[in-house]
């Protein structure tokens, strides 16, 4: 069964966040390890648009989290926690966060994107031009790089897709080059 059909069955043909029945999409909850139904939700276009564009949240739309935060499905809980954390300055989202309980591993997944951290504590990854890098972005190498521990040289102009961010160091990202997972210093990449 396709992921789309599995999610549609699980959600009853509704957005798992707000309950809308139109313009439904599969939304992968990053970072993913295996993919599949345990790392995705079915969400409407309105929810996806606001999830992917911080600062454009319609607070009244997200009052739906009062119900969906109690979902039995982990990826729904993660997205609910992230959105409530993002909007917590409005007051009522903080009250919902205070009521919400997540297992330690689920909370770690929810925090993996940096959502919920104070801006001064948040690690921000930037490419050589100062553009903010996000988990899952694609970058291109702007310089030939020798890969430590191997004889491989990652050539200038090589595209690295679906990068992962190092959550302890803003200078490091990870990605695959020629099938090998390597750590890359952000000053040598440019976002595509």
Q: Which domain holds residue 21?
A: 3-119
Instruction: Supply 140's token pair.
Output: 């291109």
In terms of domains, do 19 and 91 share one?
A: yes
In terms of domains, do 17 and 110 share one?
A: yes
| Nearest of 109, 153, 158 to residue 135 by alpha carbon | 109
Cβ burial, residue 28 (10 Å; 0-12/13-18/19+)? middle
* Residue 17 falls inside a structural domain: yes
* Residue 166 falls inside a structural domain: yes
Instruction: Give me the tens of pLDDT residue by residue for the chain, a chain 192 residues long.
Output: 799 999 999 999 999 999 999 999 999 998 888 889 999 999 999 999 999 888 889 999 999 999 999 999 999 999 999 999 999 888 999 999 999 999 999 999 998 887 766 555 667 888 988 888 888 889 999 999 888 888 888 899 999 998 988 877 889 999 988 888 899 999 999 998
In terms of domains, do 81 and 161 share one?
A: no
Q: What is the pLDDT of residue 117?
A: 63
Domain count for the chain: 2
- Choosing from 91, 119, 147, the residue where a domain stops is 119
To which H or E segment does residue 42 belong? strand 40-44
Q: What is the pLDDT of residue 179?
A: 85
* Residue 129 falls inside a structural domain: no
Written as one string, the DSSP assignment of 112-153 is TT-TTS-TTT---EE-TTSPEE-TT--EEESS-EEPTTSS-E
Q: What is the pLDDT of residue 120?
A: 57
In terms of domains, do 86 and 175 share one?
A: no
Q: What is the pLDDT of residue 125?
A: 86
| Nearest of 28, 117, 106, 25 to residue 69 by alpha carbon | 106
């Amino acid at each position: 069964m396709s992921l789309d059909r599995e999610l549609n069955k699980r959600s009853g043909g509704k957005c798992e966040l707000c309950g809308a029945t139109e313009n439904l999409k599969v939304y992968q909850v990053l970072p993913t390890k295996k993919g599949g139904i345990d790392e995705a939700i079915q969400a409407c276009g309105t929810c996806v648009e606001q999830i992917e564009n911080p600062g454009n949240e319609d607070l009244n739309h997200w009052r739906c989290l009062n119900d969906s935060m109690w979902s039995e499905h982990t990826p729904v809980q993660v997205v609910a926690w992230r959105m409530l954390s993002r909007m917590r300055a409005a007051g009522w989202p903080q009250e919902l966060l205070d009521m919400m309980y997540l297992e330690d591993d689920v909370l770690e997944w929810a925090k993996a994107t940096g959502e919920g951290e104070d801006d001064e504590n948040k690690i921000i990854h930037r490419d050589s031009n100062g553009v903010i890098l996000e988990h899952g972005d694609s970058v291109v190498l702007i310089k030939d790089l020798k890969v430590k521990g191997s004889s491989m040289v990652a050539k200038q102009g090589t595209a690295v897709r679906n990068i992962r961010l190092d959550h302890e160091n803003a200078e490091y990202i990870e990605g695959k080059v020629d099938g090998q997972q390597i750590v890359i210093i952000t000053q040598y990449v440019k976002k595509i």
